[in-house]
Amino acid sequence: MVIWISFLLACAVALFYSHRIREGFCAALSLAGVALLSLGPWGYFDLLGYMAALGAAAAFGLYTVFADKVGKAGSGLDGLALSVTVAAMVSLPFASPQIGKLDLPGFGVLVLSALVGVVIPYAVDTIAARVTSARVVGTLFATDPAMGALAGLVFLGQTITVTAVVGIAVVASAGALLIWTTDSQGRVSSGA
Protein backbone atom coordinates (compact mmCIF):
# COMPACT_ATOMS: atom_id res chain seq x y z
CA MET A 1 0.00 0.00 0.00
CA VAL A 2 3.07 2.28 -0.13
CA ILE A 3 1.94 3.48 -3.56
CA TRP A 4 -1.04 5.32 -2.04
CA ILE A 5 1.42 7.59 -0.25
CA SER A 6 2.08 9.23 -3.61
CA PHE A 7 -1.44 10.69 -3.55
CA LEU A 8 -1.01 12.37 -0.17
CA LEU A 9 0.70 15.45 -1.59
CA ALA A 10 -2.07 16.04 -4.15
CA CYS A 11 -4.45 16.23 -1.21
CA ALA A 12 -2.01 18.49 0.64
CA VAL A 13 -1.93 20.81 -2.41
CA ALA A 14 -5.72 20.95 -2.30
CA LEU A 15 -5.52 21.82 1.39
CA PHE A 16 -2.87 24.50 0.77
CA TYR A 17 -4.90 26.17 -2.00
CA SER A 18 -8.15 26.09 -0.01
CA HIS A 19 -9.64 29.51 0.63
CA ARG A 20 -12.81 28.55 2.47
CA ILE A 21 -13.51 26.33 5.43
CA ARG A 22 -15.57 23.88 3.34
CA GLU A 23 -12.78 23.47 0.79
CA GLY A 24 -10.22 22.95 3.53
CA PHE A 25 -12.47 20.46 5.27
CA CYS A 26 -12.96 18.45 2.05
CA ALA A 27 -9.22 18.50 1.34
CA ALA A 28 -8.38 17.45 4.91
CA LEU A 29 -11.03 14.72 4.74
CA SER A 30 -9.58 13.36 1.48
CA LEU A 31 -6.07 13.56 2.98
CA ALA A 32 -7.27 11.51 5.95
CA GLY A 33 -8.96 8.98 3.65
CA VAL A 34 -5.83 8.51 1.54
CA ALA A 35 -3.78 8.18 4.72
CA LEU A 36 -6.14 5.40 5.85
CA LEU A 37 -5.73 3.73 2.44
CA SER A 38 -1.96 4.00 2.88
CA LEU A 39 -2.06 1.92 6.03
CA GLY A 40 -1.40 -1.65 5.20
CA PRO A 41 0.38 -4.70 6.48
CA TRP A 42 3.42 -3.35 8.30
CA GLY A 43 5.39 -6.61 8.26
CA TYR A 44 8.29 -4.96 6.46
CA PHE A 45 9.83 -1.57 5.92
CA ASP A 46 11.59 -0.81 2.66
CA LEU A 47 13.34 2.56 2.93
CA LEU A 48 13.91 2.77 -0.83
CA GLY A 49 10.22 2.02 -1.45
CA TYR A 50 9.13 4.78 0.93
CA MET A 51 11.62 7.22 -0.58
CA ALA A 52 10.27 6.42 -4.05
CA ALA A 53 6.70 6.89 -2.79
CA LEU A 54 7.60 10.28 -1.32
CA GLY A 55 9.27 11.25 -4.62
CA ALA A 56 6.13 10.21 -6.47
CA ALA A 57 4.07 12.23 -3.97
CA ALA A 58 6.16 15.33 -4.72
CA ALA A 59 5.75 14.77 -8.47
CA PHE A 60 1.99 14.24 -8.12
CA GLY A 61 1.69 17.38 -6.01
CA LEU A 62 3.51 19.35 -8.72
CA TYR A 63 1.30 17.71 -11.34
CA THR A 64 -1.77 18.96 -9.47
CA VAL A 65 -0.46 22.54 -9.47
CA PHE A 66 0.70 22.42 -13.10
CA ALA A 67 -2.56 20.81 -14.31
CA ASP A 68 -4.31 23.85 -12.89
CA LYS A 69 -1.89 26.26 -14.62
CA VAL A 70 -1.91 24.40 -17.97
CA GLY A 71 -5.69 24.07 -17.87
CA LYS A 72 -6.15 27.78 -17.36
CA ALA A 73 -3.35 28.88 -19.74
CA GLY A 74 -4.88 27.95 -23.09
CA SER A 75 -8.18 27.64 -24.81
CA GLY A 76 -7.69 24.05 -25.85
CA LEU A 77 -5.36 21.21 -24.99
CA ASP A 78 -2.28 22.99 -26.43
CA GLY A 79 -0.39 23.06 -23.14
CA LEU A 80 -1.15 19.40 -22.53
CA ALA A 81 0.09 18.44 -26.00
CA LEU A 82 3.31 20.38 -25.40
CA SER A 83 3.88 18.85 -21.96
CA VAL A 84 3.29 15.29 -23.22
CA THR A 85 5.68 15.94 -26.12
CA VAL A 86 8.37 17.18 -23.73
CA ALA A 87 7.82 14.14 -21.47
CA ALA A 88 8.13 11.84 -24.49
CA MET A 89 11.40 13.51 -25.51
CA VAL A 90 12.81 13.20 -21.98
CA SER A 91 11.90 9.51 -21.77
CA LEU A 92 13.04 8.67 -25.34
CA PRO A 93 16.62 7.73 -24.36
CA PHE A 94 15.26 5.17 -21.91
CA ALA A 95 12.59 3.79 -24.25
CA SER A 96 14.48 3.69 -27.56
CA PRO A 97 16.58 0.58 -26.75
CA GLN A 98 13.34 -1.36 -26.20
CA ILE A 99 11.66 -0.42 -29.50
CA GLY A 100 13.22 -3.34 -31.38
CA LYS A 101 11.72 -5.80 -28.89
CA LEU A 102 8.14 -4.75 -29.70
CA ASP A 103 5.99 -7.07 -31.80
CA LEU A 104 2.63 -6.14 -33.32
CA PRO A 105 0.47 -7.26 -30.34
CA GLY A 106 2.88 -5.50 -27.98
CA PHE A 107 2.63 -2.33 -30.05
CA GLY A 108 -1.17 -2.53 -29.86
CA VAL A 109 -1.01 -2.82 -26.07
CA LEU A 110 1.38 0.15 -25.99
CA VAL A 111 -0.96 2.31 -28.09
CA LEU A 112 -3.99 1.27 -26.00
CA SER A 113 -2.20 2.02 -22.73
CA ALA A 114 -1.08 5.40 -24.13
CA LEU A 115 -4.70 6.27 -24.90
CA VAL A 116 -6.21 4.92 -21.69
CA GLY A 117 -3.31 5.79 -19.38
CA VAL A 118 -2.16 9.15 -20.78
CA VAL A 119 -4.34 10.84 -23.38
CA ILE A 120 -7.77 10.38 -21.78
CA PRO A 121 -6.86 10.96 -18.10
CA TYR A 122 -4.56 13.93 -18.76
CA ALA A 123 -7.11 15.54 -21.08
CA VAL A 124 -9.81 15.09 -18.44
CA ASP A 125 -7.49 16.46 -15.72
CA THR A 126 -6.64 19.51 -17.85
CA ILE A 127 -10.28 20.22 -18.66
CA ALA A 128 -11.26 19.75 -15.00
CA ALA A 129 -8.51 22.14 -13.90
CA ARG A 130 -9.73 24.71 -16.44
CA VAL A 131 -13.27 24.72 -15.09
CA THR A 132 -12.42 24.36 -11.38
CA SER A 133 -9.19 24.89 -9.42
CA ALA A 134 -6.15 23.06 -8.04
CA ARG A 135 -7.87 22.66 -4.70
CA VAL A 136 -10.92 20.95 -6.22
CA VAL A 137 -8.86 18.80 -8.60
CA GLY A 138 -6.43 17.83 -5.82
CA THR A 139 -9.30 16.72 -3.61
CA LEU A 140 -10.87 14.72 -6.43
CA PHE A 141 -7.50 13.08 -7.23
CA ALA A 142 -7.90 11.36 -3.89
CA THR A 143 -10.46 9.08 -5.53
CA ASP A 144 -7.65 7.46 -7.58
CA PRO A 145 -6.31 5.24 -4.78
CA ALA A 146 -9.85 4.36 -3.71
CA MET A 147 -10.69 3.27 -7.25
CA GLY A 148 -7.39 1.39 -7.43
CA ALA A 149 -8.20 -0.51 -4.25
CA LEU A 150 -11.67 -1.37 -5.56
CA ALA A 151 -10.26 -2.45 -8.94
CA GLY A 152 -7.74 -4.65 -7.14
CA LEU A 153 -10.58 -6.26 -5.20
CA VAL A 154 -12.86 -6.79 -8.22
CA PHE A 155 -10.38 -7.64 -10.99
CA LEU A 156 -7.40 -9.11 -9.13
CA GLY A 157 -9.10 -10.72 -6.15
CA GLN A 158 -7.01 -8.71 -3.67
CA THR A 159 -8.23 -8.26 -0.15
CA ILE A 160 -9.15 -4.91 1.34
CA THR A 161 -8.66 -4.23 5.02
CA VAL A 162 -11.32 -2.63 7.18
CA THR A 163 -9.06 0.45 7.42
CA ALA A 164 -8.95 0.68 3.61
CA VAL A 165 -12.74 0.40 3.40
CA VAL A 166 -13.04 3.26 5.90
CA GLY A 167 -10.48 5.21 3.84
CA ILE A 168 -12.51 4.65 0.66
CA ALA A 169 -15.67 5.82 2.43
CA VAL A 170 -13.89 8.93 3.76
CA VAL A 171 -12.46 9.79 0.31
CA ALA A 172 -15.83 9.26 -1.37
CA SER A 173 -17.50 11.45 1.27
CA ALA A 174 -14.93 14.22 0.73
CA GLY A 175 -15.43 14.12 -3.04
CA ALA A 176 -19.22 14.05 -2.72
CA LEU A 177 -19.21 16.93 -0.24
CA LEU A 178 -16.91 18.96 -2.49
CA ILE A 179 -19.13 18.36 -5.53
CA TRP A 180 -22.25 19.11 -3.50
CA THR A 181 -20.85 22.45 -2.26
CA THR A 182 -19.37 23.50 -5.63
CA ASP A 183 -21.46 25.57 -8.02
CA SER A 184 -21.64 25.07 -11.79
CA GLN A 185 -18.61 27.34 -12.35
CA GLY A 186 -16.42 25.16 -10.13
CA ARG A 187 -16.47 27.58 -7.18
CA VAL A 188 -17.32 26.43 -3.69
CA SER A 189 -20.66 27.96 -2.78
CA SER A 190 -20.64 30.89 -0.40
CA GLY A 191 -20.94 30.37 3.26
CA ALA A 192 -18.46 28.99 5.73
120 to 145, 155, 181: CA distances (angstroms)? 18, 21, 26
Domain assignment present for 29: yes
How far is residue 84's CA from residue 88's CA, in Å, rounded to a whole number? 6
What's the residue count for the chain? 192
CB distance 146 to 37 below 8 Å:
yes
pLDDT tens digit string along 61-71? 787 777 777 77
Looking at residue 120, what is its pLDDT? Answer: 84
Domain assignment present for 186: no
Taking alpha carbons only, the member of 161, 181, 176, 134 closest to residue 30 is 176
Domain assignment present for 64: yes
Looking at residue 4, what is its pLDDT? Answer: 59
**Residue 45: which residues within 8 A CB-CB, separation 6 or more?**
none
Taking alpha carbons only, the member of 175, 170, 158, 156 closest to residue 37 is 170
Domain assignment present for 25: yes
pLDDT tens digit string along 78-130? 777 887 888 889 988 988 888 888 888 888 988 898 888 878 887 887 777 77
188: three-class secondary structure by DSSP: strand
178: three-class secondary structure by DSSP: helix
- Structural domain count, the chain: 1
pLDDT band of residue 192 (cuts 50, 70, 90) is very low
Q: Which domain holds residue 41?
A: 2-181
Domain assignment present for 191: no
How far is residue 59's CA from residue 50's CA, in Å, rounded to a whole number? 14
